[in-house]
Amino acid sequence: MSPEDMSLAGMSTDSMNPQGSRGSDGPGARGALRQICREDLGALIDLNNSEVPKVGPLTEDTAEQLIEFAALLFALGDPLEAFCVALPPGTQYGSANYRWVSERYDSFIYLDRICVAPSAQRRGYGRALYEAIEQNSDSEWFLLEVNTRPENPESLAFHAALGFVELGRAEPYGDGTEVAYLGKRLREPADAFTES
């Protein structure tokens, strides 16, 4: 996918329109779930960089590269209040965390980053983005990482409530930071369904 055409044709967001599903404070109060478009790039970079060190920083070049590698790109709000970027296997993305999951899993969607503006938190935006990934991925696993050193108990609890389990830990950055790799099985492997 080229940076000039960041729209994701064919993704189902109709069923993920949370409008009315969470009352006046839900994502629908400010806009339906939608696909990231070219016009979002500046706001995406600004929102992302306001959340560093929770997520890695982005420049225009690194954002365009990340978006080019992505399989799923969803946003909430107009102007942008939340977004997520998820990657399939087999890209050239240079992240140590992406490399860890790629070395261990064949069929996955990897959540590289999710950002929700402070003014939009506690409105169900995060859950809506996770649901969009689950509903639009045909992968066996939904994978991501959460910092465990420094601790991030809120994130671990959030993911446990969504059905994610710990798959392993690593110190990928060489600076004492530790991460837990979490996964949620979305579907059984194709070879698990054999005729008897």
Tokens representing residue 127 in the block: 């859950």
Query: Going by C-beta distance under 8 Å and a sequence separation of 6 or more, which residues neighbour residue 172?
Result: 96, 97, 100, 179
Model confidence at 31: pLDDT above 80: no
For 14-192, CATH gives 3.40.630.30
56-89: per-residue pLDDT in tens? 899 999 999 999 999 999 999 989 999 999 999 9
Model confidence at 156: pLDDT above 60: yes
Chain-centre distance for alpha carbon 171: 21
DSSP for residue 126: H
Chain-centre distance for alpha carbon 162: 14
Query: Going by C-beta distance under 8 Å and a sequence separation of 6 or more, which residues neighbour residue 193?
Result: none
Q: What is the mean pLDDT of residues 143-149?
A: 94
Helix (DSSP H) and strand (DSSP E) numbers for the chain = 5, 7
98-114: per-residue pLDDT in tens? 999 999 999 999 999 99
Residue 146's pLDDT is: 94
Query: Going by C-beta distance under 8 Å and a sequence separation of 6 or more, which residues neighbour residue 121?
Result: none
Q: Residues of the chain with pLDDT > 70: what percent?
A: 81
Model confidence at 15: pLDDT above 80: no
19-30: per-residue pLDDT in tens? 333 333 454 445
Q: Which pLDDT band holds residue 95 (cuts at 50, 70, 90)?
A: very high
Does residue 80 sit in helix, strand or coil?
A: coil
Q: Of the ranges 44-53, 128-137, 144-153, 187-196, which one carries the lowest mean pLDDT score?
A: 187-196
Q: Residues of the chain with pLDDT > 90: what percent?
A: 70
Model confidence at 8: pLDDT above 60: no
Model confidence at 166: pLDDT above 70: yes
Q: Say if CB 117 and CB 159 are below 8 A apart.
A: no
Tokens representing residue 103 in the block: 């070395």
Rounded to an integer, what distance in angstroms lies between the CA atom of residue 110 and that of residue 106? 11
